[in-house]
Chains A and B, each alone.
Chain A
Amino acid sequence: MLHGINVLVTEDDKLNQKIISFMLLKKGATVKLANNGHEAIEMMGREKFDIILMDLQMPVMDGFATTQYIRKSMNSDIPVIALTADAFANESDEYIEAGMNACTSKPIEVRVLCDLILSLTKENQDKHLLKPFA
């Protein structure tokens, strides 16, 4: 289902890292882990990712600051999905304002996460394919 998709999971909690990476690997994605936003930015400089799963509350550099940096300083439009422990985060605009594309609550549902990854990576791929003709 997610074959050929390279996912950067930015999450400080080891238990959540284990859950999310297991879900994604089972669906065929390639997974890399960053423990905070600073690490994620460094990894983006070394490797090309298709999508980022971004925890919001992390030490060193949180999900909001990291996404803002990715959008403004790195000028990247890579899709970013916010991961939050708040059950009603979808009702907040805070993550959209920070430049994230979508939000999902923990514990994450496999089907919801896969659907989001597929639709956002496809949308981004289509946008890049159309660019030369725009």
Chain B
Amino acid sequence: MTTPIVDFSFLYDLAENDTTYIHEVVKLYINNIPDGIANLEKLINGSGNYEAIQRQAHSLKSSAGIIKVREMYDDLAAIDSFAKKEMEKNTSQSGDKKIIIGKINNILLNFKEALPVIVAERDKNKPAK
């Protein structure tokens, strides 16, 4: 059986039946996460600033368990860990960036599929005026 593209169970268990709260959290997620992912992609494909890569991946990882997009937490954890190791290295020789390029591409692919589902969830819970 395939894992669903998005898992909202953590949020639903927490919110119980508070649809206004669910709407607010999903809205905040949509306002923050896509920009964070775009920034991480830019950093990974850019200059190799591993401190900035680690910070951005770590920050996204801390939100990745609230609304779970398929494989996103594990991909972010791998990027976080790779960047941390690069920061600790004393040599100027960098590790193979292909690994984290693969991870960010997978995040982008899964998130592209997940975003319409997340947007629909936000709209479904929109409070009536």
Contacts and interface: CB of A to CB of B under 8 A. Distances in A.
Contacts of A87: 77
Contact of A106 (B24, B65, B77): B65
A18 B25 contact: yes
B14 A22 contact: yes
Interface stretch (B56-64, B89-97, B114-122): B56-64
B29 to A, nearest CB: 6
Given A15-B29, A15-B32, A57 B10 contact: no
A14 B63 CA distance: 10
Size category of the binding interface on chain B: 10 to 19
B14 A15 contact: no
Contacts of B77: 87
Interface in B8-47: 10, 14-15, 21, 24-25, 28-29, 32
Given A57-B55, A85-B58, A110-B14, A15 B63 contact: yes
Contacts of A55: 62
Contacts of A14: 28, 32
The prevalent SS among residues of B at the interface is helix
Given A22-B14, A23-B14, A107-B10, A15 B61 contact: no
Interface residues of A, number: 15
A1 interface: no
A16 interface: yes
A13 interface: yes
24 contacts: A13-B59, A13-B63, A14-B28, A14-B32, A15-B29, A15-B32, A15-B63, A16-B63, A18-B24, A18-B25, A19-B14, A19-B25, A19-B66, A22-B15, A22-B21, A55-B62, A57-B55, A57-B58, A57-B59, A85-B80, A106-B62, A107-B10, A107-B66, A110-B14
Interface of B: 10, 14-15, 21, 24-25, 28-29, 32, 55, 58-59, 61-63, 65-66, 77, 80
